[in-house]
């Protein structure tokens, strides 16, 4: 039995890790995994084990901030909020004050809730605002600059979570973020390269160019990155709460930036924004209860639809032709339904009960088993079954409270626009609406009129914060960034643990594939799939596109017998698990 406190389990050299993984996943090849390592860096794959609390996020300093709050007596919500604000400082690629997201909370007594702090369309938004006079989409209008910005929700969401479910209060949990912004932190190699590679976007806007690019004198690894304007903004929020952001001086700064760059968010838009508490979406899979995201996320609906299709099937060995074929066909059908039916359920009628019905899944399953893989498909008809990219945080505290939080700016560094004098980037979430029915967004996702732009409406999202329990005991906490790949990343990690009995490190590390119906392609990571499997998939009609890496997953596994927490940060990212 491991000693109490934080310890690392399974730290091994890369080659030994690959050999162990090859025994667990028969189809994985050493050559394939070595190509994955060569694509980025050499990883010592690590699971962190802890008896009390666990925090996993996409950035090491933010994970440490969460651990600091847990050790100070905070609960899982306190820690998640601390990590979220810290990521806004140390991970500007996706961590944010100027974006939005979803927080799934499960308390130790079994009660659960979901906080929707997704961005909203401004009051002056219109369905055709990104089209030219001929009805064609204007390139870049919904993805770059102030017109692409939705009303931010992050500050309202974190404040609501902290007020209702936290223990320490906003002022205390924001201290790590304020410290990191004021005193600065060493720039990692990852951050230095990320900022440099996004210079074409950030250099378009004076504040972004000054803060993140140092007017062309790019930050080098090891240099200290200080953000005094952001520190001032964070202190205002800590002292005054969300009113400082939505009604006070920060709102003034946002609106001034909108006016400078021809955006349409007003003081009224900010003042009327509210985070919304909703009921989590629930599903079942092979004896497990699944808690996940409701509308306006598409993630939970699509995830449960796929799990329902796959539940009774013999999937075969992991990463074999049979398993990839069956899972990919479930993905195709669920994403086709996403394109046809899903939008903000506060504005449009969404057939959630039908889409998540086991009877509807059975119909789709029969179709999969009877049809050749290259048969064209379209959205199904769930109505008769109705009845009456982003960063992720996973936290479990010593009492068993858990948080799965995914939030985003949408594209990396969002719109590229930094709020003048306030020091934080603004999102480009308006691209997640349907700019034109049938036309793909930046992630290639086709969407319908149900997701059309309307004032106050929240755009459809793929964010899928999720938990799995069994017999009332917490088993898994997970989620992912990655745009269109988010839902399928969560699906594959769930299947790896619940079906293939991998430990959390193996489940998060295993190679991934992704099919979103349109474009009609099967995306596969370059490593880990046997040549024979790839040949069979091609012969069956799949159009395969290889990618260096897809999705990231920050996950926690809880041993139901001992209560030990095991955290794994995805090796595809720069994240870290911290526990005690």
Question: For residue range 495-552, what is the model confidence (pLDDT) as tens digits?
Answer: 999 999 999 999 999 999 999 999 999 999 999 999 999 999 999 999 999 999 998 9
pTM given for the model = 0.92
Report residue 483 as tokens. 């745009």
pLDDT value, residue 42: 35
Measured distance CA(552)–CA(391) in Å, rounded: 9
Q: What is the pLDDT of residue 2?
A: 36
Least confident of 81-95, 386-400, 446-460: 386-400
Q: Average the pLDDT over each of 30-34, 88-92, 379-383 and give the range with the smallest value.
A: 30-34
The answer to whether residue 22 scores a pLDDT higher than 50 is no
Query: Which domains can be identified in the chain, with CATH numbers?
Result: 15-40+285-390+462-560 (1.10.246.130), 66-277+391-451 (no CATH)
What pLDDT is recorded for position 297? 96
Active site residue 390: yes
Q: Give the pLDDT score at 376.
A: 79
Task: Say yes or no to pLDDT of 176 above 50.
Answer: yes
CB distance 456 to 447 below 8 Å: no
Phi, then psi, of 579 in degrees rounded to 5:
-145, 170
25, pLDDT greater than 70: no
Q: Which of 143, 257, 266, 390 is catalytic?
A: 390
Full DSSP string of 266-305 = -HHHHHH---EEEPPEEEEETTEEEEE--TTBSHHHHHHH
Q: pLDDT digits over 106-127, tens only?
A: 999 999 999 999 999 999 999 9
Distance from C-alpha of 503 to C-alpha of 439, rounded to nearest angstrom? 40
Contact 326, 364 (CB under 8 A): no
Phi-psi region of 281 (alpha: psi -120 to 50; beta: other; left: phi over 0): beta
């Amino acid at each position: 039995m491991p000693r109490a406190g934080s310890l690392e389990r399974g730290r091994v050299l890369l080659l030994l890790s690959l050999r162990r993984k090859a025994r667990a996943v028969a189809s994985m090849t050493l050559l394939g995994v070595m190509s994955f390592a060569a694509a980025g860096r050499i990883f010592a794959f690590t699971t962190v084990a802890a008896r009390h609390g666990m925090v996993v996020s996409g950035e090491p300093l933010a994970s440490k901030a969460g651990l600091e709050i847990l050790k100070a007596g905070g609960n899982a919500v306190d820690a998640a909020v601390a990590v979220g604000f810290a990521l806004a400082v140390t991970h500007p690629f996706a961590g944010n004050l100027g974006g939005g997201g979803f927080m799934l909370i499960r308390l130790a007594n079994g009660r659960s809730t979901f906080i929707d702090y997704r961005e909203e369309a401004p009051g002056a938004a219109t369905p055709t605002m990104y089209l030219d006079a001929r009805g064609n989409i204007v390139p870049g209008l919904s993805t770059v600059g102030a017109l692409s910005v939705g009303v931010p929700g992050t500050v309202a969401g974190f404040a609501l979570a902290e007020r209702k479910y936290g223990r320490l209060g906003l002022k205390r949990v924001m201290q790590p973020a304020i410290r990191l912004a004021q005193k600065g932190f060493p720039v990692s190699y990852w951050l230095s390269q990320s900022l440099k590679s996004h210079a074409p976007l950030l250099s378009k806007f004076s504040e972004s160019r000054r803060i993140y690019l140092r007017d062309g004198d790019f930050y080098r690894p090891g240099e200290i990155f200080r953000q005094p304007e952001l520190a001032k903004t964070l202190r205002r929020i800590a002292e005054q709460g969300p009113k400082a952001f939505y009604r006070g001086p920060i709102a003034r700064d946002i609106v001034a930036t909108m006016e400078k760059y021809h955006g349409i968010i007003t003081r009224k838009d900010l003042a009327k924004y509210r985070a919304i508490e909703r009921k989590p979406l629930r599903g079942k899979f092979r004896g497990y209860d699944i808690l996940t995201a409701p509308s306006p996320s598409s993630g939970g609906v699509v995830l449960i639809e796929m799990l329902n299709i796959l539940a009774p099937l013999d999937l075969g060995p992991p990463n074999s032709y049979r398993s990839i074929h069956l899972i990919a066909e479930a993905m195709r059908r669920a994403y086709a339904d996403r394109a046809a039916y899903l939008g903000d359920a506060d504005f449009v009628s969404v057939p959630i009960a039908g889409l998540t019905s086991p009877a509807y899944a059975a119909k789709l399953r029969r179709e999969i088993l009877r049809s050749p893989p290259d048969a064209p498909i379209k959205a199904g008809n769930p109505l008769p079954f109705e009845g009456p990219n982003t960063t992720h945080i996973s936290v479990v505290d010593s009492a068993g409270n858990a948080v799965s939080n995914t939030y985003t700016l949408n594209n990396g560094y969002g719109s590229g626009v930094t709020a003048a004098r306030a020091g934080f980037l603004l999102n480009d979430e308006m691209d997640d609406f349907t700019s034109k029915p049938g036309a793909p967004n930046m992630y290639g996702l086709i969407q319908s009129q149900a997701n059309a732009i309307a004032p106050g409406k929240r755009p459809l999202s793929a964010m899928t914060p999720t938990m799995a329990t069994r017999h009332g005991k917490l088993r898994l906490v997970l989620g992912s960034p990655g745009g269109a790949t988010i839902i399928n990343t969560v699906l594959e990690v769930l299947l790896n643990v619940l079906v293939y009995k991998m430990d959390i490190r193996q489940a998060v590390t295993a190679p991934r594939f992704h099919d979103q119906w349109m474009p009609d392609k099967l995306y596969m990571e370059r490593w880990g799939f046997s040549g024979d499997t790839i040949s069979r998939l091609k012969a069956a009609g799949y159009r395969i596109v290889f990618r260096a890496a897809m999705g990231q997953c920050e996950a926690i596994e809880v041993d139901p017998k001992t209560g030990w927490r095991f955290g794994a940060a995805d090796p595809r990212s720069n994240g870290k698990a911290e526990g005690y």
